[in-house]
Structure 1
Amino acid sequence: MQILAFDTAARACSAALLDGDRVLAERLCEMERGQAEVLIGLVQDVLATAGTCFAKIDRLATTLGPGSFTGLRVGLATARGIALAARLPVVGVTSFEAVANGVASSERKGRRVLVALDTKRRDFYAQLFDEALHPLDPGGVLSLEACAGMARSGPLLVVGDGAPLLRDAFTHNAEMCDADACDIRWSKAPGHPQAVVIARLAATRAPTADLRPIYLRPPEAKRPKA
Structure 2
Amino acid sequence: MRILAFDTAGNGCSVCLWQDGQTLALRTLSMSHGQAEQLIPMIAAVREDSGLDWQDLDAIAVTIGPGSFTGLRVGLAAAQGLTLATGLPVIGITTLEAYARQAANAGYRGAILVAVDARRDDLYLQPFHADDTGGLRPLAAPLAAPVEQVAPLLADWGITTATVTGDATALLDGIAALTASHPQAAVDPACLAGLAAGRSAAEAPAIPLYIRPPDAAIPQNGGQLRPDVPHD
Give yes or no for TM over 0.5.
Answer: yes
Aligned ranges 1:23-102 → 2 under 5 Å: 23-102=23-102
Partner of 1:173: none
Which one is further off, 68-77 or 216-225? 216-225
Whether the aligned pair in 1 keeps the contact of 2:164 and 2:178 (CA below 8 Å) is no
Q: Are residue 157 (structure 1) and residue 147 (structure 2) matched? A: no
TM superposition shift of 1:107: 4.1
Q: Are residue 222 (structure 1) and residue 225 (structure 2) matched? A: no
TM superposition shift of 1:207: 1.3
- Percent of aligned pairs sharing the same letter: 40
Whether the aligned pair in 2 keeps the contact of 1:151 and 1:183 (CA below 8 Å) is no
SS across alignment from 2:139: coil
SS across alignment from 1:217: coil
Distance 2:13 2:45 in 1: 13
Measured at CA, do residues 37 and 204 of structure 1 come closer, stay the same or move farther in structure 2, by a change above 3 Å? Answer: same
Q: Are residue 166 (structure 1) and residue 166 (structure 2) matched? A: no
TM superposition shift of 1:74: 0.3
Aligned ranges 1:123-202 → 2 under 5 Å: 123-132=122-131, 133-150=136-153, 153-167=159-173, 170=174, 177=175, 181-188=176-183, 190-202=184-196
Measured at CA, do residues 99 and 131 of structure 1 come closer, stay the same or move farther in structure 2, by a change above 3 Å? Answer: same
Measured at CA, do residues 210 and 131 of structure 1 come closer, stay the same or move farther in structure 2, by a change above 3 Å? Answer: closer
Distance 1:45 1:117 in 2: 29
- What letter corresponds to residue 81 of structure 1 in structure 2? G
Write the deviation string for residues 194-215 of structure 1: whole angstroms up to 9, x where unpaired. Answer: 1000000000001147432110
Measured at CA, do residues 222 and 151 of structure 1 come closer, stay the same or move farther in structure 2, by a change above 3 Å? Answer: closer
In the superposition, the TM-score normalised over structure 1's length comes to 0.88
Which one is further off, 192-201 or 203-212? 203-212
Measured at CA, do residues 108 and 149 of structure 1 come closer, stay the same or move farther in structure 2, by a change above 3 Å? Answer: farther
Measured at CA, do residues 107 and 211 of structure 1 come closer, stay the same or move farther in structure 2, by a change above 3 Å? Answer: closer
SS across alignment from 1:65: coil
TM superposition shift of 1:182: 3.4
Distance 1:83 1:3 in 2: 13
- What letter corresponds to residue 136 of structure 1 in structure 2? L
- What letter corresponds to residue 206 of structure 2 in structure 1? L
- What letter corresponds to residue 213 of structure 1 in structure 2? P
TM superposition shift of 1:145: 2.0
Distance 1:124 1:218 in 2: 14
Measured at CA, do residues 146 and 195 of structure 1 come closer, stay the same or move farther in structure 2, by a change above 3 Å? Answer: same
Distance 1:80 1:183 in 2: 38
Distance 1:155 1:63 in 2: 28
Write the deviation string for residues 92-116 of structure 1: whole angstroms up to 9, x where unpaired. Answer: 001111111111456423x310000
Partner of 2:117: 118
- What letter corresponds to residue 116 of structure 2 in structure 1? L
Unaligned runs of 5+ in 2: 223-232
Distance 2:23 2:145 in 1: 35
Distance 1:105 1:184 in 2: 18
Partner of 1:19: 19
Matched residues, number: 213
- What letter corresponds to residue 141 of structure 1 in structure 2? A
Distance 1:141 1:52 in 2: 40
Q: Say which structure, 1 or 2, has more relative contact order (CA 8 Å, 6+ apart).
A: 1
SS across alignment from 1:130: strand
